[in-house]
Amino acid sequence: MKTLYILGLLLLANVPLFAQNNTLFERATEAYNAGEFNKAIEFYDTILSNGQHSAALYFNLGNAYYKLGEIGPSIYYYEKALLLNPSDAEIKNNLSYANNMRLDAIEAMPKTAFARFYEATIQQLSFDGWAYLAVAMIFLFVACYVSYYLINSSTYKRITFITSLFAMGLCAASILFAYLQYEKYQANNPAIIFSREVTITSEPNGDSERIFALHEGTKVNVEESFEDWRKIKIADGQTGWLPADAIRLLKDF
């Protein structure tokens, strides 16, 4: 009883904050529709500072920065939105437009047909999404299992039996996909270049060999850290070091 009381107090304490964030979101939308993109960004940033974030919020931030012609931030926020909602077609579409504005044209390493099918499948949902689907399938299985013993009709018994098998199979697949998606999420440490141009070096110091240059908006994967330097890898497989302040990590929620 005491636990429920404390939980109730916490929920009541957060009500004003939720209301404030909803008001800020509405004002940001009004500012965006009026063409006041900087003002909209201020409202969205306030919501983030209040500890609330969502795919919709990051998507709107990406749109606002895109309207201002700031490609690096727009790609950054589209990518963050995509991490939270990997199957959203509108996010992917706007991210594609923003990526077309980048200076760096990097060709990704070729993948087999199986690898492309595998990635397309597990990326339909985030690992949270697959987990929620697994839970839903467990409930469906239990409902069908109970119905099987309560229903007298042989036809409906067959339907509930087949549905329960389908639910159990989809549950197992969802758990597997959630695990694979989570492993992939943990293994990668993506970031976006925020500097207009940054030189990639062979070692973590400014005196080492210059390998190539990258520009604002390019997506990289951070593989190592050394003091104020980060070792990165780009889509075509090239690696090198750059200053830590030249990038912003995408998973810093």
Q: What is the pLDDT of residues 77-124, one digit of tens each?
A: 999 999 999 889 999 999 999 999 998 888 877 778 888 888 888 888
**Domain check: are 6 and 17 in the same one?**
yes
* pLDDT at residue 114 in the model: 84
- Is residue 89 exposed (0-12), middle (13-18) or buried (19+ Cβ within 10 Å)? exposed
* pLDDT at residue 8 in the model: 38
How is residue 81 written in tokens?
């939105």
* pLDDT at residue 231 in the model: 96
* pLDDT at residue 17 in the model: 66
**Domain check: are 23 and 88 in the same one?**
yes
Question: Residues 136-175: pLDDT tens digits?
Answer: 999 999 999 899 888 888 888 899 999 999 999 999 999 9
**Domain check: are 147 and 183 in the same one?**
yes
* pLDDT at residue 15 in the model: 60
* pLDDT at residue 111 in the model: 78
**Domain check: are 183 and 214 in the same one?**
no
- Residue 147 lies inside a defined structural domain of this protein: yes
Question: Residues 51-84: pLDDT tens digits?
Answer: 888 999 999 999 999 999 999 999 999 999 999 9
Q: Could you list the residue range(s) of the whole structural domain that residue 222 is in?
A: 190-249
Of 99, 128, 156, which residue is a domain's last? 99
pTM of full prediction above 0.95: no
Q: How far apart are the first and last CA of the chain?
A: 33
**Domain check: are 136 and 216 in the same one?**
no
Instruction: Decide which of 62 and 22 is more confident.
Output: 62
How is residue 10 written in tokens?
């916490």
**Domain check: are 139 and 82 in the same one?**
no
**Domain check: are 21 and 70 in the same one?**
yes
- Residue 108 lies inside a defined structural domain of this protein: no
Position 14 confidence tier, pLDDT thresholds 50, 70, 90? low
Of 52, 68, 99, which residue is a domain's last? 99
If one counts every other C-beta atom within 10 angstroms of the C-beta of residue 110, the result is 7
* Number of folded domains that form the chain: 3
- Residue 95 lies inside a defined structural domain of this protein: yes
- Residue 135 lies inside a defined structural domain of this protein: yes
**Domain check: are 206 and 182 in the same one?**
no
- Residue 107 lies inside a defined structural domain of this protein: no
Question: Residues 167-213: pLDDT tens digits?
Answer: 999 999 999 999 998 888 888 899 999 999 999 999 999 889 999 99
Residue 7 above 50 pLDDT? no
21-38 average pLDDT score = 93
* pLDDT at residue 9 in the model: 35
**Domain check: are 25 and 93 in the same one?**
yes
**Domain check: are 196 and 178 in the same one?**
no
Position 4 confidence tier, pLDDT thresholds 50, 70, 90? very low
Residue 242 contacts residue 198 (beta carbons within 8 Å): yes
Percent of the chain with pLDDT over 90: 65
- Is residue 174 exposed (0-12), middle (13-18) or buried (19+ Cβ within 10 Å)? buried
Q: What contacts 246, CB < 8 A, 6 or more positions away?
A: 193, 194, 195, 198
Of 74, 99, 124, which residue is a domain's last? 99
- Residue 25 lies inside a defined structural domain of this protein: yes
**Domain check: are 89 and 6 in the same one?**
yes
